[in-house]
Amino acid sequence: RDSVLISPSILSADLANLGRDLKMIDNADLIHIDVMDGHFTQNLTFGSGVVAAAKRSCDVPLDVHMMVTNPDETIDWYIDAGADYITVHYEASVHLHRTIKHIQERGCKAGVVLNPATPVCVLESIIEELDMVLVMSVNPGFGGQSYIESTYAKLRQLRGLCEAHGVSPLIEVDGGVSSKNIKQVVRAGADVLVAGSAVFGADDPRAEVDLLRELGNR
Ligand code: DX5
Ligand code: ZN
């Protein structure tokens, strides 16, 4: 690929000033929105109204990470709100193929997310349908956790699976990514890097987005 893509997670933004923070990082390639339902994850975050508000206040494509049980019941709201990418957890989806096809038929890019303990091999029968695979490098729920080292091996396995099938979905990594490890994460196979605390905890979030991209491309 030409360049890695940086997807700042608004979980770590100043939620009382979300519009301001979105403008501050409009040099990002995607905006990562963590939808948590208080069931699949303990934490509870953003509804489709927040996705619609983000859509109105920035032009960067929205990368909506659905950490919810029964995603089929609510994904349409997020598509209507203006999501560009929707990723659903393997662990939460019973009819994964149907869900992915539905998202794509509605004009959105679709991806599957794997929790840290879920192996790459579960993607064997769906990989050819996917626009994106999101590999969790922390357990979902909170920002600011540390990157799980075994994710590197998983990324290499995923790259192997994609090569075996002759496909190249975007490979996204989420959790604990920073300027310290981004080069290694990209080298292991990532195309899209989510960064929450690394971006919004920086003195200059906008410059941090550019720095992460530059380090990832090296
Ligand atoms: C965790 C979320 C992440 C989180 C990442 O459940 O899916 O997107 O915001 O935050 P950092 O980059 O701080 O680990
Ligand atoms: Zn996320």
pLDDT at 66: 98
Q: What is the pLDDT of residues 156-212, one digit of tens each?
A: 999 999 999 999 999 999 999 999 999 999 999 999 999 999 999 999 999 999 999
Q: Is 172 in the pocket of ligand 1 (CB under 6 A)?
A: no
pLDDT at 89: 98
Q: Is the ipTM of this complex over 0.85?
A: yes
CA distance linking residue 82 with residue 150, whole number of Å:
34
For residue 199, the ligand 1 atom closest to its alpha carbon is 12
pLDDT at 2: 86
Question: Which of 37, 63, 174, 191 is flagged as catalytic?
Answer: 174
CA distance linking residue 73 with residue 116, whole number of Å:
25
CA distance linking residue 153 with residue 104, whole number of Å:
29
Query: Does the annotation mark 72 as catalytic?
Result: no
Task: Report domain extents, the chain.
Answer: 5-217
Q: Using most ligand atoms within 8 A of CB, pick from 15, 89, 145, 146 the residue to mutate for ligand 1.
A: 145
Strand-pairing partners, residue 63, are 32, 85
Quickly state the pLDDT bin for 135 (edges 50, 70, 90): very high
Q: What average pLDDT is seen over the chain?
A: 98
Binding site residues for substrate, as ranges? 9, 65, 141-144, 174-176, 196-197
Q: What is the pLDDT of residues 32-84, one digit of tens each?
A: 999 999 999 999 999 999 999 999 999 999 999 999 999 999 999 999 999 99
pLDDT at 1: 77
Query: Does the annotation mark 84 as catalytic?
Result: no
- The residue whose CA has the least distance to atom 7 of ligand 1 is 140
CA distance linking residue 131 with residue 109, whole number of Å:
6
Superfamily name with CATH number, domain 5-217 = Aldolase class I (3.20.20.70)
